[in-house]
């Protein structure tokens, strides 16, 4: 265990806090700042890594870069922070994001209240004392009235249990648990399994040094060029001069990005005009492509026009016709899985040292001591890279060993899929808040925007509770059921559930319940709902106060 950047000592020997926050990424850091520096509470962050960064602390794989534009991938609660920090590229690379988060942590003096190198092993609600007892792998147990999980949506690595995996004599790595010292691919035969956002970023970079890279593709994927570039002095100045405007756009937009989705519909324009619009969007690059029309995720025929355009681009770029055909054999509507953006992904297949294996035609049978064996034969490898994604949204929460009222575990409560109200609380788990939890926009949004909204809502809620002497808050079962229904309803109004193999649905992890987890109703709408709930005295939640006999009495029923 280390606390802060230098100390290895226990913090004050104090075992009781107002709040324990799990995770020191974007969410946990901001939550600590608000609870400690705005509300004056005694808060401790517990973090598994030995530094801040959360998801970005772990995802150090080659080519790791954010898909949100850097000037929007920042905390917007402080103009001072925005003015002082300078991003170098349109899309920030992993090391720059970690540097940014360290800059914020140092500026706000957060590290002194972060306990690094410590894994939470259990969090049990003690009903009598109305405290969460949080135990860690160093044998310590601390208590807190409030438990806030800030564990990220994509932080629990999904390493597929392919038969024979552990017999492999070479080295294997998962992109989300990448060694800090890096991996040298020089002269090596590398196999990469997975072609999601991560795999698509990693391929061109690994190809630069590997002797040969074999990419094992199960589901073909769309990808749009990031058109990444260094930021000009003019742009940097513009971003600093227009903070309010950028903030306002991000808050008004469906996905929390600094651009709005165009109002026009696909069939409002001629085929020729549409082609021009797509060409222009391709040149601009990145997630802005998705904003070309407002019905891309609502109307399959409209979506097909974008899908066809993107597939035709693969054919134009990739020279080998069989490889091009396999890469373009995409079976889901555009953007119903997280749309990757890339730097030279399809182009990498024109290199002599890169080849593609279509696992739909020739599935993996096993991993042998020499490499990967498909139904077509064995591929001898020195290194296997698993770019196989995450047990997303719920994986990290369910690993915490959370036990709520009456000894009910979170795993039991969410057996058939996650059940929250506003993605922030689960019934039966009083005073536990899940930042960007399932049922909130989270991964469908530019994450810092979703995080700031949830963190601020929680801070306001706790402030109200402390001011009014409220002992606990938890949602009613009815509110949770209503919210789960609403989350399903808004997802079903879109094409999103049509990608049957998406991690949004939990479909990438064998045995995981198939439930559409993020809130697809848009960030702006979600913010409005959360604000209204608070304004109405936390409608859907029960706020209670203990009476003289320590019996809980609802105060807002
Ligand atoms: P993703 O998007 O879940 O992609 C994982 C990839 O790995 C995807 O192509 C999967 O194919 C493939 N995969 C997973 N398990 C296997 C097995 N057992 N065999 C073969 N292929 C497999 O994860 P990423 O890390 O790329 O991206 C996660 C998010 O991070 C991203 O969306 C951004 O929000 C940032 P499948 O599609 O399941 O057939």
Contacting residues for 412 by C-beta, under 8 A, at least 6 apart:
none
pLDDT, tens digit, for every residue of 384-424?
999 999 999 999 999 999 999 999 999 999 999 999 999 99
pLDDT, tens digit, for every residue of 493-505?
999 999 988 999 9
136 lines ligand 1 (CB under 6 A): no
* pLDDT band at residue 10 under the 50/70/90 scheme: very low
DSSP symbol at 447: H
For residue 6, the model assigns a pLDDT of: 29
Q: Count the neighbouring beta carbons within 10 Å of the beta carbon of residue 383.
A: 21
Please determine, for residue 509, whether its predicted confidence score (pLDDT) is greater than 50.
yes
Residue 474 near residue 552 (C-beta atoms within 8 A): no
Least confident of 139-143, 283-287, 528-532, 545-549: 545-549
pLDDT, tens digit, for every residue of 468-493?
999 999 999 999 999 999 999 999 99
| Nearest residue (CA) to ligand 1, atom 5 | 388
Contacting residues for 316 by C-beta, under 8 A, at least 6 apart:
none
Mean pLDDT computed over 60-70: 98
Contacting residues for 390 by C-beta, under 8 A, at least 6 apart:
153, 154, 155, 156, 157, 158, 176, 503
How many whole angstroms from 387 Cα to the centroid of ligand 1? 6
DSSP symbol at 38: I
425 lines ligand 1 (CB under 6 A): no
Q: How many CA atoms lie within 13 A of 118 on its CB side?
A: 30
Give the ranges where 318-371 is alpha helix by DSSP (H): 321-327, 345-348
pLDDT, tens digit, for every residue of 300-347?
999 999 999 999 999 999 999 999 999 999 999 999 999 999 999 999
pLDDT, tens digit, for every residue of 178-227?
999 999 999 999 999 999 999 999 999 999 999 999 999 999 999 999 99
Q: How many CA atoms lie within 13 A of 410 on its CB side?
A: 27
| Nearest residue (CA) to ligand 1, atom 3 | 389
199 lines ligand 1 (CB under 6 A): yes
Query: Is the dihedral angle over the CA atoms 491, 494, 496, 497 positive or is it negative?
Result: positive
Please determine, for residue 79, whether its predicted confidence score (pLDDT) is greater than 70.
yes
The token pair at 212 is: 């040969």
How many whole angstroms from 201 Cα to the centroid of ligand 1? 12
154 lines ligand 1 (CB under 6 A): yes
| Nearest residue (CA) to ligand 1, atom 24 | 389
pLDDT, tens digit, for every residue of 20-46?
999 999 999 999 999 999 999 999 999
For residue 437, the model assigns a pLDDT of: 98
196 lines ligand 1 (CB under 6 A): yes
How many whole angstroms from 227 Cα to the centroid of ligand 1? 23
195 lines ligand 1 (CB under 6 A): yes
How many whole angstroms from 273 Cα to the centroid of ligand 1? 34
Q: Read off the pTM.
A: 0.96
How many whole angstroms from 389 Cα to the centroid of ligand 1? 4
507 lines ligand 1 (CB under 6 A): no
Pick the atom of ligand 1 nearest to 389's CA: 23
388 lines ligand 1 (CB under 6 A): yes
* pLDDT band at residue 15 under the 50/70/90 scheme: confident
63 lines ligand 1 (CB under 6 A): no
Q: What is the mean pLDDT of the chain?
A: 96
How many whole angstroms from 158 Cα to the centroid of ligand 1? 9
* pLDDT band at residue 552 under the 50/70/90 scheme: confident
Q: What percent of the chain has pLDDT over 90?
A: 95
- Tell me how far apart the alpha carbons of residues 480 and 219 are, in angstroms, rounded to a whole number: 34
DSSP 67-84: SS-GGGSS--S-HHHHHH
Mean pLDDT computed over 435-461: 98
How many whole angstroms from 143 Cα to the centroid of ligand 1? 37
389 lines ligand 1 (CB under 6 A): yes
Cα dihedral 317→323→329→333 (10° resolution): -40
118 lines ligand 1 (CB under 6 A): no
194 lines ligand 1 (CB under 6 A): yes
Give the ranges where 108-219 is alpha helix by DSSP (H): 197-209
How many whole angstroms from 196 Cα to the centroid of ligand 1? 5
For residue 457, the model assigns a pLDDT of: 98
Pick the atom of ligand 1 nearest to 175's CA: 25
How many whole angstroms from 195 Cα to the centroid of ligand 1? 6
Mean pLDDT computed over 454-461: 98
The token pair at 531 is: 């604000």
pLDDT, tens digit, for every residue of 339-375?
999 999 999 999 999 999 999 999 999 999 999 999 9
How many whole angstroms from 361 Cα to the centroid of ligand 1? 18
Nearest residue to 119 via CA among 26, 27, 50: 50
Angle subtended by helix axes 300-317 and 271-284, to nearest 10: 60
Please determine, for residue 13, whether its predicted confidence score (pLDDT) is greater than 70.
no
111 lines ligand 1 (CB under 6 A): no
Please determine, for residue 381, whether its predicted confidence score (pLDDT) is greater than 70.
yes
For residue 11, the model assigns a pLDDT of: 43
Mean pLDDT computed over 164-172: 97
446 lines ligand 1 (CB under 6 A): no
Pick the atom of ligand 1 nearest to 162's CA: 18
| Nearest residue (CA) to ligand 1, atom 2 | 196
Mean pLDDT computed over 162-174: 97
461 lines ligand 1 (CB under 6 A): no
Pick the atom of ligand 1 nearest to 197's CA: 26
| Nearest residue (CA) to ligand 1, atom 27 | 197
Give 500: exposed, middle or buried? Use CB within 10 Å, 0-12, 13-18, 19+.
exposed
Pocket test for ligand 1, best of 157, 176, 198, 329 (most atoms within 8 A of CB): 198
């Amino acid at each position: 265990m280390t606390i802060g950047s230098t100390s290895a000592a226990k913090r004050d020997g104090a075992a009781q806090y107002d709040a324990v926050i799990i995770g020191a990424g974007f969410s946990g850091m901001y939550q600590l700042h608000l609870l400690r520096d705005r509300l004056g509470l005694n808060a401790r962050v517990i973090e598994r890594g030995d530094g801040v960064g959360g998801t970005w602390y772990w995802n150090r794989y080659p080519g790791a870069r954010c898909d949100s534009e850097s000037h929007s991938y920042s905390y917007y609660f402080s103009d001072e922070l925005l003015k002082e920090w300078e991003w170098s590229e349109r899309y920030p690379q992993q090391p720059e994001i970690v540097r940014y988060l360290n800059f914020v942590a140092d500026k706000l003096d957060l590290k002194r209240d972060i306990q690094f190198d410590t894994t939470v092993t259990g969090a049990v609600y003690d009903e009598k004392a109305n405290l969460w007892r949080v135990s860690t792998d160093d044998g310590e147990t601390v208590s807190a009235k409030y438990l806030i999980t800030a564990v990220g949506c994509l932080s629990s690595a999904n390493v597929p249990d392919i038969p024979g995996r552990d017999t492999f004599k070479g080295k294997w790595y998962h992109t989300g648990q990448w060694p800090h010292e890096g991996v040298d691919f020089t002269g090596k035969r590398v196999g990469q399994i997975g072609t999601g956002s991560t795999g698509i970023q990693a391929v061109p970079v690994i190809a630069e040094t590997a002797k040969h890279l074999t990419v094992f593709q199960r589901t073909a994927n769309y990808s749009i060029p990031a058109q990444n570039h260094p930021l000009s002095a003019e742009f940097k100045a513009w971003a600093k001069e227009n903070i309010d405007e950028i903030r306002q756009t991000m808050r008004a937009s469906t996905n929390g990005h600094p651009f709005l989705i165009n109002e026009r519909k696909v069939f409002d324009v001629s085929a020729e005009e549409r082609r021009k619009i797509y060409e222009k969007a391709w040149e601009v690059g990145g997630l802005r492509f998705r904003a070309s029309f407002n019905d891309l995720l609502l109307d399959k025929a409209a979506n097909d026009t974008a899908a066809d355009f993107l597939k035709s681009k693969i054919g134009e770029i990739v020279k080998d016709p069989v490889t091009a055909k396999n890469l373009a054999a995409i079976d889901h509507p555009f953007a119903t899985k997280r749309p990757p953006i890339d730097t030279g992904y399809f182009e990498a297949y024109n290199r002599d040292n890169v080849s593609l294996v279509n696992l739909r035609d020739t599935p993996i049978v096993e991993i042998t001591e020499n490499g990967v064996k498909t139904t077509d034969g064995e591929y001898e490898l020195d290194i296997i890279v698993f770019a196989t994604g995450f047990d997303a949204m719920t994986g990290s929460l369910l690993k915490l060993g959370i036990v709520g009222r009456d000894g009910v575990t979170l795993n039991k409560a969410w057996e058939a899929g996650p059940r929250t109200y506003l993605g922030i609380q689960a019934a039966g788990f009083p005073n536990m808040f899940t930042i960007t939890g399932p049922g909130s926009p989270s991964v469908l949004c530019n994450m810092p925007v979703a995080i700031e909204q949830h963190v601020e809502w929680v801070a306001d809620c706790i402030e109200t509770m402390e001011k009014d002497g409220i002992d606990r808050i938890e949602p009613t079962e009815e509110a949770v059921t209503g919210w789960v229904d609403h989350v399903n309803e808004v997802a079903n109004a879109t094409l999103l559930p049509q990608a049957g193999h998406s991690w949004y649905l939990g479909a990438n992890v064998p045995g995981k319940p198939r439930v559409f987890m993020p809130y697809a109703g848009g960030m702006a709408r979600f913010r409005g709902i959360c604000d209204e709930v608070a304004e109405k005295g936390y409608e859907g939640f029960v706020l209670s106060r203990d009476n003289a006999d320590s019996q809980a009495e609802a105060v807002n029923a």
